[in-house]
Structure 1
């Protein structure tokens, strides 16, 4: 055996032992979660929430009819945005198979909730969101930090010149104003992807449902209200919808460590180290659709939303015993981190929030 082979053999054995230990860690955590019944379906809870959300949707439109010709309609536009955001969260949960035992049951429920009520494509969302869950905050793999108006990593910022570079250096302050356009962007991305992806199952059905949903929304508003109020109603609804959805997803990963494209990290650390939980009570749970328990959701994507809070102490304690950093902060604190992070990236600072495991291996 050559000297290089002798050197490689102990190193390979060490890597194998570390990998086996990491796999067994997640297996142990999974066993504890399963034994606690936290992966059991909560179909009754979900059916109740869906019924209440549908009732709120219908009630909002009844209020629009009764209120009539007045600028107070803009308040109802904001209420409608809140309700549609809740449909987005329910579509997210059913897409993750949290509600029903069968894949088909969850998929069709997600299409009804996402396409029919929120105006978002289930097929587009699944493709994008699965890639995010597989590689959160990993450059070149996570679509949530991919190319767009904002640069989410230094390499993307360095390639910009002129007006784009000027904007990128200040992009943190533009984050929240841009969220007002997120609702429109989500609708456009849904339709665009369905139109282009000819291999997507049931794409014509989803396109039809979304088309009817969006067209009916505009037509009904202009039918019930004067043109000026109707246009403002649609604008407020879309802006608030974008802020609520974007504001619930952004705090979970933006400003957490970035992972180089070729890095390999075990599942437990990949999900925990790149995710951030948000402290708060019932309002936070409602406002963020349970996504404030992002660490638990990433570790167990099919765990029903009401069980995430119950799983948190178990997961947090397990991470403490395993030496895995578990991040939790306030909602305002997370937003401040997001703004600071985006501004640092905009200045093309190298590795503003680099992966702690990568730093460890470099040392």
Structure 2
């Protein structure tokens, strides 16, 4: 039996022997062409349809394409797409800042901290959200309006996701304005091109009322899709605190949850449904994650490491249950059950 310290090294050897860390450039080139092509087609449809309420159908479809492009930016950020770092970074900047208006530098900084310490109460930025609490202690620290939201956060979770798209645009742009990202001038320039082009097309093609509704529907659905894609991955899983003794493999596996399903789930969630494998091997190309899952799950079983997976709707149930329990003390209905106790 291998020791805890060598468990990940052993698993890594198994993964490398299967060639699962090898690049899949052809896959990503086809995906990039399809995503950019879909964006271009929707842009053409927007212009051709003109000043009509049918534009809301375009807005909904555009939300899907934006999220798929965000998934590609995520993969580029993890160096899954190309072997060359500059090529991945350029791809991420063009997809994020220029095409969907979300700052790549800000997102990468936040996301790298998340990967280093997933679900860590102090070090994971995804557990430090102003309008949500993931423990009774976090809930108790909320004040004013945020305290009211957290008190009812399970009921408000999905409505709040309507604002996620706007939040991503605003926070990432603010980070570039404050020069918190390395290439802040380039990022601001690309973001400006996106915003000016987006608003110009929408308001030139539609009346002001329809344009505003179009933006609300597009960005609202974009936020929901993004939030629903990332929420199942860690929310409701054990929250770590300072001083924990978990090694790398257990830290990543025990705080992550996979979502079961077939090819459509893989497409719908952009490969994020293999969250455990992705956290163990962030640079693994997306099409290899399904094959890696078999190896990782069997390895965890042999080494008595709990491996969490469930269906998509069940995962949302866990998320909402955890949020409801986290706000229980504010409602005077009890305390949060220990994370991962179910």
Which range, TM-score by smaller chain?
A: over 0.9
- CA distance in 1 between counterparts of 2:118 and 2:89 reads 23
Q: Are 2:222 and 1:237 equivalent residues in the alignment? A: no
Counterparts of residues 325-340 of structure 1 (less than 5 Å): 325-340=306-321
- CA distance in 1 between counterparts of 2:98 and 2:46 reads 20
1:203 to 180, 184, 197: 184
DSSP-derived class of the 2:3 partner:
helix
Find the counterpart in structure 2 of residue 61 from structure 1: 43
Q: 1:65-116, CA deviations, whole angstroms, 9 ceiling, x for partnerless residues?
A: 2222221110100111111111100000000000111111111111111111
- CA distance in 1 between counterparts of 2:226 and 2:10 reads 34
- CA distance in 2 between counterparts of 1:355 and 1:246 reads 21
Q: Are 2:342 and 1:354 equivalent residues in the alignment? A: no
DSSP-derived class of the 1:207 partner:
helix
Structure showing greater Rg: 1
Find the counterpart in structure 2 of residue 122 from structure 1: 104
Find the counterpart in structure 2 of residue 32 from structure 1: 14
Structure 1 residue 319, shift from structure 2 partner = 0.4
Segment of structure 1 superposing worse, 268-277 or 143-152 = 143-152
DSSP-derived class of the 1:87 partner:
helix
Q: Are 2:147 and 1:165 equivalent residues in the alignment? A: yes
Which structure 2 residue ranges, 5 or more long, are not aligned? none
Structure 1 residue 353, shift from structure 2 partner = 3.6
The size of the alignment, in residue pairs, is: 337
- CA distance in 1 between counterparts of 2:274 and 2:143 reads 38
- CA distance in 2 between counterparts of 1:163 and 1:67 reads 41
Relative to structure 1, the CA distance from residue 167 to residue 201 in structure 2 (aligned partners, 3 Å threshold; closer, same or farther) is closer
- CA distance in 2 between counterparts of 1:167 and 1:180 reads 15
Contact 1:147/1:156, CA 8 A, preserved across alignment: no
Find the counterpart in structure 1 of residue 60 from structure 2: 78
Contact 1:279/1:292, CA 8 A, preserved across alignment: yes
- CA distance in 2 between counterparts of 1:228 and 1:289 reads 33
Find the counterpart in structure 1 of residue 84 from structure 2: 102
Relative to structure 1, the CA distance from residue 301 to residue 64 in structure 2 (aligned partners, 3 Å threshold; closer, same or farther) is same
Contact 2:229/2:272, CA 8 A, preserved across alignment: yes
Q: Aligned Cα RMSD in Å? A: 1.6
2:125 to 143, 158, 164: 143
Contact 1:319/1:326, CA 8 A, preserved across alignment: yes
Structure 1 residue 260, shift from structure 2 partner = 1.2
2:166 to 149, 173, 184: 184
Find the counterpart in structure 2 of residue 361 from structure 1: none
Counterparts of residues 316-331 of structure 1 (less than 5 Å): 316-331=297-312
Relative to structure 1, the CA distance from residue 171 to residue 77 in structure 2 (aligned partners, 3 Å threshold; closer, same or farther) is same
Contact 1:256/1:353, CA 8 A, preserved across alignment: no
Q: Are 2:233 and 1:252 equivalent residues in the alignment? A: yes
Q: Are 2:265 and 1:280 equivalent residues in the alignment? A: no
Structure 1 residue 355, shift from structure 2 partner = 6.3
Structure 1 residue 56, shift from structure 2 partner = 0.3
Q: 1:264-307, CA deviations, whole angstroms, 9 ceiling, x for partnerless residues?
A: 31000000000000011222111111000000000000000010
Contact 1:26/1:267, CA 8 A, preserved across alignment: yes
Contact 2:131/2:149, CA 8 A, preserved across alignment: no
1:90 to 55, 68, 72: 72
DSSP-derived class of the 1:263 partner:
coil
* Length-normalised TM-score, structure 1: 0.90
